[in-house]
Amino acid sequence: MDLIPPAPGAPSLTAHRFFFALRPDPVTARRTHAFAESECGQTGLLEPERLHVTLALTPDRTDAPTSLIDALRRAGDTVRAAPFDLSLDRLSAGRHTIALRPGRTVAPLMELQARIVAAMAAHDVALRPDWAFSPHETLCYRKGEPFSRPVTGFGWAVRDFVLIHSFVGLHRHDVIARWPLRSPEPVQGSLF
């Protein structure tokens, strides 16, 4: 991939990252962004179209090979999971981020994530080795003290998942593919 050198002082591409994610619908994303702005201010705020819950991601790369993208698409094609509602009812801050998180385990979310990881493995796509699934939707990046408190009114009806190509350093996410959630096919049994 040929890249045009950035203008002096402009952001520059540092890596290509591919990940499966859940994205809120546009209305929920705008409402979440407005809440994030009230909590974080403008500094480090994620744009509404970049809000997501990461389900699985690859190691960062210096290139974007078609073979990897094709394998990720094939993996996504094999995932079957039922739609579900996701509630993000905890506002949680670490020293560098503020995020919304579910206050309890969401079994359908955990099942979907496990199926995506299994599909990636079946298609020889490695997970980023230093990453572990901890469901959250990052709102902003900042420096500050950790805290956690309950919130209400954040969540959405999860009806699909996406594959995103992140251009790290450029604050750009391109959706490569989208898959609707539907209940897995029942296993056909034999009467004999």
Percent of the chain at pLDDT > 70 equals 90
For residue 109, what pLDDT is reported?
Answer: 98
For residue 171, what pLDDT is reported?
Answer: 86
Specify if 1 maps to a domain: no
- CA 89 to centroid of chain Cα atoms: 17
Domain extent for 42: 15-180
Specify if 191 maps to a domain: no
CA-to-CA dists, residue 107 to 76, 83, 90, 168, angstroms: 20, 12, 17, 31
For residue 186, what pLDDT is reported?
Answer: 66
Contact 92, 148 (CB under 8 A): yes
For residue 187, what pLDDT is reported?
Answer: 59
Average pLDDT in the chain: 91
**Which of the residue ranges 9-18, 58-67, 77-86, 142-151 would you say has the lowest mean pLDDT?**
9-18
Specify if 126 maps to a domain: yes
Specify if 2 maps to a domain: no
DSSP symbols for 107-142: HHHHHHHHHHHHHHHHTT-PPPTT------EEEEE-
Q: What is the pLDDT of residues 26-66, one digit of tens each?
A: 999 999 999 999 988 888 999 999 999 999 999 999 999 99
Other beta carbons within 10 angstroms of residue 152's beta carbon come to 8
Query: How many separate domains does the chain show?
Result: 1
Separation CA 34–CA 2 (nearest Å):
36
Specify if 185 maps to a domain: no
Residue with the larger pLDDT of the pair 7 and 166: 166
Q: Label each residue of 23-92 as H, E or C.
A: CCCHHHHHHHHHHHHHHHCCCCECCHHHCCEEEEECCCECCCCHHHHHHHHHHHHHCCECCEEEECCEEE
Q: What is the pLDDT of residues 58-97, one digit of tens each?
A: 999 999 999 999 999 999 999 999 999 999 999 999 999 9
Instruction: Look up the pTM and report it.
Output: 0.89
Specify if 95 maps to a domain: yes
Sort strands 147-150 and 137-141 into parallel, antiparallel or unpaired: unpaired
Residues 6 or more apart whose CB falls under 8 angstroms from that of 93 comprise 99, 144, 145, 146, 147, 148
Specify if 3 maps to a domain: no
- Segment 115-135 shows an average pLDDT of 97
For residue 189, what pLDDT is reported?
Answer: 57
Specify if 50 maps to a domain: yes
What CATH number is attached to the domain comprising 81?
A: 3.90.1140.10
